[in-house]
Amino acid sequence: MEIIIEFISSLLMMLLPSGERLFTAVSEATCQAFRDAEVRLPPDVVAAIRHAAENETSPIAREELGRILENISLAGRLGVPICQDTGVPVVYLTVPPTVPLTAALMDAVADGVRKATREIPLRPNVVSPLDRRNSGDNTGPGMPAIHIRAGERLEITVLPKGAGAENMSRLAMFLPTEHDRIPRFVAETMLVAGGRPCPPVVLGVGIGGTFDGVAALAKEALLEPVDHMDPFEQDLCDAVNALGIGPMGLGGKTTALAVKVKTASCHTASLPVAVNVQCWAARRATREVVW
Amino acid sequence: MTPVHLATPLSREVLDLRAGDQVTLSGTIYTARDEAHLRMMRDGIPFDPEGAAVYHCGPVISGSRILAAGPTTSARLNRLTGFLLDAGVRALIGKGGMGSGVVDQLKGRGVYLALTGGCAVLAASRMTLRGVYYEDLGMAEAIWIIEADHLPLVVGIDSRGGDLFGAVEREAKLQFDRRFTI
């Protein structure tokens, strides 16, 4: 019975005079997801910052984290973006079997980004790479960056990515025998970055896959909650925190709130590793599309 | 520790500050990022630079309201800063610190003040918009004229070469070498 209903509903979907209702719903959900992400941090991130503030002994580090917590609550109260770098739009789209994967679906996401830029508002950050012309609405060729995965429901997850931290990200193609160099590479990424990516950071680490795929893995790792680390992730996090860079690079115990790792199978002759640096404003939000 | 209160235009008083001091700053400040620095170098500084404070920031502005105005990464401006200090600018405000070249250029002239990165709403709550130069550069890159009211800052680099960020980086390098160098 359920299968028949599903079949009929998918048939009806296709028979709709246009995908207009779907378009509007996707655009609206995208805009809402950006509003959620830009204004309120996920509870696990706020808890991690609060925990860090309680743990710091340096007065400057405590002061910095105190200001961060004050800023988070002020943004929530006023309904405005946490940070003026509202990022570039990175979107993860989960598409169920009932929704056809069309160019119109991608256009609807872009429409939601434009709406979010006008209404929240977001800072227009998207420019063409060489002549630096700003599109004014946070879209352009390849923007929003949309990643598609198959699923049961039509869901939109957004990860607005600020440039200060993104610019400090790194990728290496290690030899297959060099897996013991991964902790060094991760710690070195923060050593080079110092205070520039707005620590305390979250590090998304991709291991395996291909040259392009490992960067995507590192970014996807940033979608994971930061309230749990496995022993490998904890070791990497400890190595980073041993550097003492601290909040904003002014010294302290917390350089990273968490390190999250995602892996994929790779060529027997390769070991790709990528580190995607995320500032303390680890923004992400998910909305289901209902239409 | 009670923060030292400063007001623009800044005088030689900033030369007495030491890296690590907490300060608050009131008065007119000017935002400037990469594009604004390039244009000022080409066309001249559009405001009176004597005792001025330049803020590395690209805010979110809605009408005449500043919604979010946290600092951007100052190190991008390492090679674009000397002319401002030559012209009399006494304070650079930003996040993440600046290179050793700027540490030298600040000697006997001014300070680098760190504002907590990402604290855009907190910063905006202490700011009023007064005007704009170079609006054609876009919201992020224009020079916004802002009236600040007790901005909470920490002295990152002082006028005697004291550099909080540099000290932390040197210690981080030591820790890194201890752990990873065979």
**What secondary structure, in 3-state letters, does chain B show?**
CCCEEEECCCCHHHHHCCCCCEEEEEEEEEECCHHHHHHHHHHCCCCCCCCCEEECCCCEEECCEEEECCCCEHHHHHHHCHHHHHCCCCEEEEECCCCHHHHHHHCCCCEEEECCCCCHHHHHCCEEEEEEECHHHCCCCCEEEEEEEEEEEEEEECCCCCEHHHHHHHHHHHHHHHHHCC
- Mean pLDDT, chain B, rounded, equals 96
Whether A241 has its CB under 8 Å from any CB of chain B: the answer is no
> Which of A160, A181, A206 marks a domain boundary?
A160
Chain B residues lying within 8 Å of A164, measured CB to CB: 72-73, 95-96, 117
Of A83, A145, A156, A147, give the one whose Cα is nearest residue A120. Answer: A83
State whether A142 and A19 are in the same domain: yes
| Residue A274 scores a pLDDT above 80 | yes
Q: pTM value?
A: 0.92
Whether A71 has its CB under 8 Å from any CB of chain B: the answer is yes
A238 in any annotated domain: yes
> Which of A126, A160, A194 marks a domain boundary?
A160
For residue A158, give the H/E element and its range: strand A155-158
Residues A250 and B168 sit within 8 Å (Cβ to Cβ): yes
For residue A274, give the H/E element and its range: strand A271-278
Cross-chain residue pair B171–A244, CB shorter than 8 Å: yes
* Angle (CA) A136 A128 A124, round 5°: 25
State whether A131 and A213 are in the same domain: no
Any residues with CB less than 8 A from the CB of B65 and at least 6 apart, and which? B129
A and B: number of Cβ contacts within 8 A = 161
**A149 vs A16, residue with greater confidence:** A149
Cross-chain residue pair A121–B60, CB shorter than 8 Å: yes
C-alpha to C-alpha distances, A136 to A117, A150, A273, A278, B140, nearest whole angstrom = 9, 32, 34, 24, 11
Cross-chain residue pair A244–B168, CB shorter than 8 Å: yes
Confidence of residue B96 (pLDDT cuts 50, 70, 90): very high
> What ipTM did this prediction achieve?
0.91
Mean pLDDT of B11-38: 97
Confidence of residue A176 (pLDDT cuts 50, 70, 90): very high
State whether A181 and A124 are in the same domain: no
State whether A173 and A267 are in the same domain: yes
Q: Per CATH, the architecture of B4-180 is what?
A: Alpha-Beta Barrel (3.20)
State whether A9 and A49 are in the same domain: no
Show me where the domains of chain B are located: 4-180
State whether A138 and A215 are in the same domain: no
Count of structural domains within chain A: 2
Of B156, B49, B48, B50, give the one whose Cα is nearest residue B111. Answer: B156
A56 in any annotated domain: yes
State whether A12 and A58 are in the same domain: no
Please give the structure tokens belonging to residue B50: 């004597």
C-alpha to C-alpha distances, A288 to A31, A93, A147, B141, nearest whole angstrom = 12, 10, 16, 35
State whether A24 and A154 are in the same domain: yes
Q: What is the pLDDT of residue B181?
A: 83
A170 in any annotated domain: yes
Mean pLDDT of A219-224: 98
State whether A187 and A258 are in the same domain: yes
| Residue A18 scores a pLDDT above 60 | no
> Which of A144, A160, A176 marks a domain boundary?
A160
Q: What is the pLDDT of residue A12?
A: 56
Strand B111-114 relative to strand B91-94: parallel, antiparallel, unpaired? parallel
A288 in any annotated domain: no
**Phi/psi of residue A178, each to 5°?**
-105, 30
Domain containing residue A108: 2-40+82-160
Mean pLDDT of B12-25: 96
State whether A143 and A16 are in the same domain: yes
